[in-house]
Amino acid sequence: MSKIQFSVQVRLTADLERSKTYYELVLGCEVNDFWAVRDDFRLGFKLMQASKKEDVVPNVAGQNQVIPWDTYAYVETHQELDELYEDLKSREAVIVQEPSTTQQDFGLWKEFAISDPDGYTIAFGSGKRD
């Protein structure tokens, strides 16, 4: 059976150059004409210029969801999550959800979220304590 190597999410953007700059400088992605990727494609996007601004439509909140997510990425430990948060904050990422924790059946879950220039929300979470 064939195995998928990685996947990327397609993002329609109102201003492709602005988005490329954001994904490179703020999110820390390697950006070229085709991709914005980080950590060997563990986080990846294909940025595409929208035909018109109205075509850029981030997700709306789901049932019982306060912050609507367009991407959810996992990191290994809470310490790595905290380090990522501090790194993104120092790069002036727009924080739409401060780090918070919730108790789950498996243990303590911690997460935060940022927003890109088109209003897409990228959340990061970890379920493993250090």
- Calculate the average pLDDT of the chain: 93
Question: Under the phi-then-psi rule, with left for phi > 0, alpha for psi from -120 to 50, and beta for the rest, what region is 82?
Answer: alpha
Q: What is the pLDDT of residue 13?
A: 97
Could you give the dihedral angle defined by the CA atoms of residues 24, 117, 43 and 90, in that order, rounded to the nearest 10 degrees? 60
pLDDT at 128 over 80: no
What is the residue whose two structure tokens read 């992605």? 29
pLDDT at 129 over 80: no
Q: Is residue 122 within 8 Å of residue 75, measured between CB atoms? A: no
- For residues 98-102, average pLDDT: 90
Of the ranges 4-8, 71-75, 91-95, which one carries the lowest mean pLDDT score?
A: 4-8
DSSP string, 31-44: E-SS-EEETTTTEE
Helix (H) or strand (E) holding 95: strand 94-104
User: What tokens appear for 54 in the block?
Assistant: 């109205």
Which of helix, strand or coil describes residue 16? helix
Global pTM value: 0.91
Q: What is the pLDDT of residues 42-79, one digit of tens each?
A: 899 999 999 999 999 999 999 998 899 999 999 999 99
Which of helix, strand or coil describes residue 20? helix
Could you give the dihedral angle defined by the CA atoms of residues 58, 59, 61 and 66, in that order, rounded to the nearest 10 degrees? -50
